Amino acid sequence: MKPPRNPRSAPLPAPAGLSEADMDRLTELFVRGTPANTLRAWESDLGYIAAWRLQRFGGAPAWPEREEVALAFVLDHSRDLATAAEDDPARVAAETMIAAGLRRGFACPAPSTLDRRIASWRAFHRMRNLASPFEAPILRQARQKARKAADRAPAPKSANPVTRDILHQLLDATGPGLRGLRDRALLCLGWASGGRRRSEIVALNVEDLDLKAFAGQGLIRLRLPGTKTTTKGDTPRLVLQGRPARAVATWIAAAGLTAGPLFRRITRHDTVGRNRLSAAGVAEILRRLLRDAGLPEGFAAPHGLRSGFLTQAARDGVALQAAMRLSLHRSPQQAQKYYADVEIAENPAAGLFDAG
């Protein structure tokens, strides 16, 4: 069982009075005006929803969807199906989903995962100017109760932050040749420019970097094509200096890059390929360097570059607002989490008992 390739592949009806040609243009507008990460999430969620509905109700999604189907989706994903009877329809559907690789197990998914899939389902209705069943009072209440019933601390995206000392260990583990130069430039840019997401790192082109001030001031200015919190063209210009700037400039010169993807695949003959490095490639590079640095398997994930930058900023006493200007966090509360973890041990109130 394979999920649809994208939201346009599902049999969605056009709004009343809209021609097929206008529908195609409207769909294209949605695609062009939606961040790539959101499009990938929509594609994944539509595939999951379509597969679940086929197994649970024997057909493709209806537009608009029936309230009882939407309610069953919430209920099926708000309980541990491992304890359900073997002939329970929800468990039977889950078994098929697991066999198809669309579901990990019988345990209910994290509330954030359920919320995201429902948000996607609602978006598909909005695209067709249809009312979503999830707006019904009973659905709203069911979702609220499902969140509270499954309330748990969110798992960190990286087991440990890649702080400056860890980053230096990883840099020391990079090997010789073009592969080593690329890996050092990637780590330095990803960490020092504010803790970039791997999708942001691999999206960079050479044209996004300004090296005019590098020779005289050792600075490289860069502008990200777009982030989760900024739109394309509105991302503030960031800066690299010192060792990170030198690492990036050295990589560009050694690889002979003048345009196109900044970070590319390296062939087994240590030559620079044409293809852009993928987000999965960044994760593989980090796993390899963690192993070569002698750190435990699973010690950190690519998000550790982002959490590590903010954790280090907190340790060094950098003002939160200054760190956020590079990390581009939209919410101070989100960025503050890293500061709170560091500052609590240094809070004078923690030593009140022994102060007297």
Q: 116-134: per-residue pLDDT in tens?
A: 999 999 999 988 888 999 9
Q: How far is CA 91 from the centre of its chain?
A: 29
The stretches of the chain forming alpha helices (DSSP H) are 20-32, 36-57, 67-76, 89-99, 111-127, 137-149, 164-173, 177-192, 198-203, 214-217, 243-255, 279-292, 303-315, 320-327, 332-343, 352-355
CA pair distance 60, 73, nearest whole angstrom: 14
Tell me the mean pLDDT in the region 174-189.
Answer: 94
Pair 219, 245: CB distance under 8 Å? yes
Superfamily of domain covering 7-149: Tyrosine recombinase, N-terminal domain (1.10.150.130)
The whole-number pLDDT of residue 289 equals: 96
The whole-number pLDDT of residue 85 equals: 92
% of the chain residues with pLDDT over 90: 47
Q: How far apart are the first and last CA of the chain?
A: 68
Pair 252, 261: CB distance under 8 Å? no
Domain 164-346 has CATH 1.10.443.10: yes
The DSSP letter of residue 145 is H
Contacts of 66 by beta carbon, 8 Å cutoff, 6+ apart: 133
Tell me the mean pLDDT in the region 237-254.
Answer: 93
Pair 213, 221: CB distance under 8 Å? yes
Where in the chain are all domains bearing CATH 1.10.443.10? 164-346
The whole-number pLDDT of residue 355 equals: 58
Pair 317, 184: CB distance under 8 Å? no
The whole-number pLDDT of residue 269 equals: 87
The three-point CA angle 180-185-190 to 5° equals: 130
Tell me the mean pLDDT in the region 156-168.
Answer: 87
Query: Sheet containing 209-210: which strands, arranged edge to edge?
Result: 209-210, 219-223, 237-241
Confidence of residue 329 (pLDDT cuts 50, 70, 90): confident
Among the listed residues 182, 164, 328, the one whose alpha carbon sits nearest the alpha carbon of residue 252: 182
Q: Which two tokens stand for residue 203?
A: 């999206």
pLDDT at 9 over 70: no
Where in the chain are all domains bearing CATH 1.10.150.130? 7-149
Length of the chain: 356
pLDDT at 13 over 70: no
% of the chain residues with pLDDT over 70: 86
Pair 188, 247: CB distance under 8 Å? yes
